[in-house]
Amino acid sequence: MRFRPDELRFAVLRLAVLRFAVLRLAVARLAVLRFAVLRLAVARLAVLRFAVVRFLAVLRFAVARFAVVRFAVARLAVVRFLAVLRFAVARLAVVRFAVARFAVARFLAVLRFAVARLAVVRFAVARFAVARFAVVRLAVARFAVLRFAGLRFAVLRFAADFFELRGGMPHLLGGLNYPAASAVPSSMRYAPDGIARANVRDGPRLIKYRTFTLQL
C-alpha cells in the first residue's frame, strides 16, 4: 500500500475539523450548560423570591388576622364591660329605687301608726276627760245629795226642836233618840197627841205613830 501525502493532509485537516467541531460542540454545550445553570439559578431565585413573598404575605396576613383578633377581643372586652356596667347601673338604680320605696313605705307605715296611736291617745284623753267629768259630776251629785240630806236633817231637827218647844205633836218624836223627848209635859201624854205607850186594845190604830223613823 502506497502512502499518499494528499490523503495525509486531508486526514490532518479532517482531524483538525473534527477537533474544532468537538471544541465548538464543547463550547456550545458549555454555553448551554451555563445557560441552563443560569436559568436554573434564575428559576431558583424566582422560587426563593416567591417563597419570600409568600412568607411575607402570609406573615402580613397573620399579623393582620392577629390584629383583627386582638381588636375583636378588645372590642368584646369593651362591650362586655359596658354591658356589665350598664347592668350594674340598672341594678343599682333598681336597688336604690327599692330602698327608696321601702323607706317611703316604712315612713308611711310609721306615720299611719303614729296617726293611729295619736288617735288612740286622743280618744283615751277624751275618754279620760269624759270619765273625769262623770266622776266630777257624780261627786257634785253626791255632794248635792249629801247637802240635801244635811239640809233635810237640819230642817227635821229644827222642826223637832220647834214642835218640842211649842209642845205640839210630840208623838213625832217617838222614833227619835232625842234628849229633849223626856221634857214633854204630862198633859201631852194622851193619845193620839202624847208619847205615852198605848194600850194593847187600841190595836193597829196607833202603830204608825210609834214606828216613826227619820229617813235621810
Per the structure, the count of domains in the chain is 1
pLDDT beyond 60 at 146: yes
Residue 71 lies in a domain: no
Do 157 and 177 meet the contact criterion of CB atoms below 8 Å apart?
A: no
- Would residue 31 count as lying in a domain? no
Distance CA 119, CA 27 (A): 133
- With a cut of 50, say whether residue 60 has pLDDT above it: yes
Q: Is residue 54 part of a domain?
A: no
Q: Is residue 173 part of a domain?
A: yes
Region 78-82 average pLDDT: 93
Residue 216 has pLDDT above 80, yes or no: no
Beta-carbon contacts of 152 under 8 Å, excluding residues fewer than 6 positions away, are 216
Asked if residue 176 is part of any domain, the answer here is: yes
In a domain, 16, yes or no: no
Given a cut of 60, is residue 21 above it in pLDDT? yes
What's the pLDDT band for 208 if we cut at 50, 70, 90? Answer: very low
Distance CA 93, CA 181 (A): 103
Give mean pLDDT, residues 110-138.
Answer: 91
User: For the whole model, what pTM was predicted?
Assistant: 0.33
Domain-embedded: residue 105: no
In-domain check, residue 206: yes
Range of the domain at 149: 136-210
User: How far is Cα 64 from Cα 122, in angstroms, rounded to an integer?
Assistant: 84
